Amino acid sequence: MWSFWIRPRTGSTPEFLDAVSRMNPEKLIYISCNPKTQKRDLEFLKKKGWRVQMIQPVDLFPHTEHTECIVVVSR
């Protein structure tokens, strides 16, 4: 069975988010299908000085409960 399709995604890692922050880009675009891990990761980025500029949910899979969420963050 294709169980990996129904498992929630784990989001990013603190190491990756820290490395991206050190690269110091002007903006980040974070797309996720798991709002819980995305919220956790955005809280991590907030502690690094990032601010959420925009949040846009996108329904790529009509007639399901799945929604992608696009977030733009900047310094």
Whether the predicted pLDDT of 17 surpasses 70: yes
pTM score, two decimals? 0.81
Q: How would residue 3 be classed by pLDDT, with cut points 50, 70 and 90?
A: very low
Beta carbons of 69 and 38 less than 8 angstroms apart: yes
Q: What pLDDT shows up at residue 4? A: 44
Q: What pLDDT shows up at residue 8? A: 56
pLDDT in tens, 33-71: 888 999 999 999 999 999 999 999 999 888 888 889 999
Q: What pLDDT shows up at residue 69? A: 94
Q: Looking at the annotation, which residues are catalytic?
A: 33
Closest CA to 37 of 61, 9, 66, 60: 9
